[in-house]
Amino acid sequence: MESDKNRKGPAIKAAMLIIFLVTAIVIARFTPLKAFLNAERLGQLLKTAGPWAPAAYIGAYAAGVCLFMPGTLLATVGAAIFGPYYGFIYVWLGAMIGAVLAFFIGRYLGRDFAASLIGNKLGKYDEAIERNGFATVLYLRLVYFPFTPMNFGMGLTRVRFWDYFSGTALGIIVGTFIFTFFVGTIKDVWSSGQWGGLLSWKVFFSLGLFVFSFFIPKIIERLKAWRQIGVV
């Protein structure tokens, strides 16, 4: 009798997780909310928030992460409205809060059920993630593993929260800064109307960083391969 209850609890939580994920995707993709998922509409809403705009944006970004909203769109809005520097800070904070919330949703609702399904072979990978949590999370973030699925998925594993948190915090800094700096810089030039600014060092630097960001996963993979054969 007690064992039946022990089995039902994780199964009910797992069902709640599935319902939550499906509902989140439906809300973001197939409801009137989708009409507001563009830079112009989101920008207008944030402007009405006045001095609370940064807090509103961070909260919206965090909620967007959990609802599978396009992170690129949300980051573009942040960089365009707040500029390359404040935009970077607010985008990073929103992404981190969203990542933490999604992790805990996955951990609370899905971990017990996932653990009950893990056999000996998968159990070894689960233990490895626990032992090398920080390095695993950092690597996956640097190679741009899909952000939101990873947040929920890591909650299903044995990774320690602080390994997940620190690996995420460090792993998304580079990509976030490069993207927001590029978008924010171009937006500043556009707003000023001084098109000669497109030839400034700042624009070329931001463009160079943006192009470089596409090569980060390959660089990480190459370093990993070299490390395995003892080159580095």
Render 165-217 in DSSP notation, one character per residue: HHHHHHHTHHHHHHHHHHHHHHHHHHHHT-GGGGGSHHHHHHHHHHHHHTTHH
pLDDT band at 231 (very low <50, low <70, confident <90, very high): very low
Distance of CA 94 to the CA centre of its chain: 9
Residue 95's alpha-carbon distances to 55, 67, 74, 88, 138, in angstroms, are: 13, 12, 10, 10, 15
Task: Count CB-CB contacts under 10 A for residue 178.
Answer: 20
Lowest-confidence range among 80-94, 102-116, 201-215, 217-231?
217-231
pLDDT band at 2 (very low <50, low <70, confident <90, very high): very low
Half-sphere exposure of 193 (CA within 13 A, CB side): 0
Q: Which of 65, 150, 63, 157 minimizes the C-alpha distance to 107?
A: 157
Domain locations in the chain as residue ranges: 2-172
pLDDT at 103 over 80: yes
pLDDT band at 174 (very low <50, low <70, confident <90, very high): confident
Spatial contact of 85 and 182, defined as CB atoms under 8 Å apart: no
Query: Which pLDDT does position 232 carry in this prediction?
Result: 45
Distance of CA 10 to the CA centre of its chain: 26
Which residues make Cβ contacts (< 8 Å) with residue 155, sequence separation at least 6? 102, 103, 104, 105, 106, 107, 108, 110, 111
The type of residue at 24 is A
d(Cα 177, Cα 206) in Å, to the nearest integer? 10
Report the b/e string of 61-86 with b at 16+ CB within 10 A.
bbbbbbbbbebeebbbbbbbbbbbee
Residue 182's alpha-carbon distances to 83, 86, 107, 205, in angstroms, are: 10, 13, 35, 8
Q: Which of 13, 100, 31, 35 minimizes the C-alpha distance to 62?
A: 100
Q: What is the pTM of this model?
A: 0.80
